[in-house]
């Protein structure tokens, strides 16, 4: 039986993995929340990784607040870069394969066609820059790793665009949503399956992977779908935002090609 440690287990992806874990009886999971394992604390990682010989560590721990990262970059880098470096160092020592999740925001969005794993990165916000540094630590320290870039995650868990739009709509608020960024909304449950299938299938395709759901949309297009799916389309006002103000810049086009 393969043992799998999941960090950041109470986040959106961590909970999505917990939800389907029982469908993989051949995997023995240990789920660690941020209270139980802090990736910025080396002792905390060593303590958890020493309880048994883990074959895999799925790192779902991250600083994910794109807006706040602009105001507190040191916090974003501490978790997404330094924390990931700690994890990579210890996983290597323990011969644990690291499965790390990264983002479409490592790209600048200027390419205009789907990004390949071999395309040059060039983040345009602090969150993206901190995630890229995390990727680079893993690549320079390890051989047995998977870096899985994904985008626009949504699910019933945690905080995400889908839930924000639905909540605003249910409250009867008028919606104003930008249509100047295009990407692939991805259900966190599908990503969870992709990750667990890599383990169950004993994949040796180490390196960078891109995984998203198929359809590409603007945030406005995604909001429209959310309203339709919930029978709210036409019941609340949805307009294209002329100037939705944000602190962070975001890539104009960040579709990932597998």
Ligand X SMILES: NC(=O)C1=CN([C@@H]2O[C@H](COP(=O)(O)OP(=O)(O)OC[C@H]3O[C@@H](n4cnc5c(N)ncnc54)[C@H](OP(=O)(O)O)[C@@H]3O)[C@@H](O)[C@H]2O)C=CC1
Binding site for ligand X (CB under 6 A): 7-8, 10-14, 34, 37-40, 60-64, 79, 83, 101, 103, 131, 150-153, 158
Which of ligand X, ligand TDO, none is residue 158 near (CB under 5 to 8 Å by kind)?
ligand X
The answer to whether 45 and 37 are in contact (CB under 8 A) is yes
Kindly state the smallest distance separating residue 103's Cβ from ligand TDO, in Å: 3
Residue whose Cβ sits closest to ligand X = 11
- 127 is known as an active-site residue: yes
**Binding of residue 66 to ligand TDO (CB under 6 A):** yes
Q: Which of 61, 126, 177, 192 binds ligand TDO (CB under 6 A)?
A: 177
At 184, list the tokens: 């692939």
Q: Which of residues 204-223 bind ligand TDO (CB under 6 A)?
A: 219
Which of ligand X, ligand TDO, none is residue 133 near (CB under 5 to 8 Å by kind)?
none
The full 3-state SS of the chain, as one line of letters, equals CEEEEEECCCCHHHHHHHHHHHHCCCEEEEEECCCCCCCCCHHHHHHHHCCCCCCEEEECCCCCCHHHHHHCHHHHHHHHHHHHHHHHHHHHHHCCEEEEEEEHHHCCCCCCCCECCCCCCCCCCHHHHHHHHHHHHHHHHCCCEEEEEECCEECCCCCCHHHHHHHHHHCCCCEEECCCCEECCEEHHHHHHHHHHHHHCCCCCCEEEECCCCCCEEHHHHHHHHHHHCCCECCECEEECCCCCCCCCCCCECCECC
Residue of 121, 54, 41 lying closest to 87 (CA atoms): 41
Q: Which of 77, 152, 157, 253 binds ligand TDO (CB under 6 A)?
A: 152
Contact flags string 2-41 toward ligand TDO, x per CB under 6 A:
----------------------------------------
* Between 43 and 243, CB nearer to ligand TDO: 243
**CA 74, 80, 81: angle at the middle one, nearest 5?**
80
Q: Which of 115, 127, 154, 253 is catalytic?
A: 127
**Binding of residue 121 to ligand TDO (CB under 6 A):** no
Kindly state the smallest distance separating residue 57's Cβ from ligand TDO, in Å: 20
Which of ligand X, ligand TDO, none is residue 97 near (CB under 5 to 8 Å by kind)?
none
* Between 7 and 181, CB nearer to ligand TDO: 181
Which residues are catalytic, by number? 127
The binding site for ligand TDO (CB under 6 A) comprises: 64, 66, 103-105, 151-153, 161, 164, 175-178, 181, 219, 241, 244, 246, 250
């Amino acid at each position: 039986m393969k043992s799998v440690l999941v960090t950041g287990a109470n986040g959106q992806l961590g909970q999505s993995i917990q939800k389907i874990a029982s469908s993989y009886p051949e995997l023995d999971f240990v789920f660690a929340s941020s209270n139980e394992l802090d990736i910025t604390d080396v002792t905390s990682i060593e303590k958890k990784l020493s309880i048994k010989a883990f074959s895999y560590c799925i790192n779902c721990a991250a600083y994910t607040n794109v807006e706040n990262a602009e105001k507190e970059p040191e916090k974003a880098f501490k978790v997404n870069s330094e924390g990931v470096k700690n994890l990579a160092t210890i996983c290597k020592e323990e011969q644990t394969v690291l499965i790390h999740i990264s983002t479409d925001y490592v790209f600048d969005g200027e390419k205009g066609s789907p990004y390949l794993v071999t395309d040059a990165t060039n983040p345009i916000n602090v969150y993206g820059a901190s995630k890229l540094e995390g990727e680079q630590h893993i690549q320079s320290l390890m051989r047995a790793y998977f870096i899985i870039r994904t985008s626009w995650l949504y699910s019933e868990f945690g905080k995400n665009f889908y839930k924000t739009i639905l909540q605003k709509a249910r409250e009867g608020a008028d919606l104003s949503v930008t249509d100047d960024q295009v990407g692939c909304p991805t259900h966190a449950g599908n990503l969870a399956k992709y990750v667990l299938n890599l383990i169950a299938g004993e994949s040796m395709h180490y390196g960078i992977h891109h995984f998203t759901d198929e359809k590409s949309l603007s945030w406005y297009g995604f909001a429209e779908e959310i309203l339709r799916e919930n029978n709210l389309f036409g019941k609340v006002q949805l307009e294209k935002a002329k100037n939705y103000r944000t602190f962070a810049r975001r890539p104009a086009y960040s579709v990932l090609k597998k």
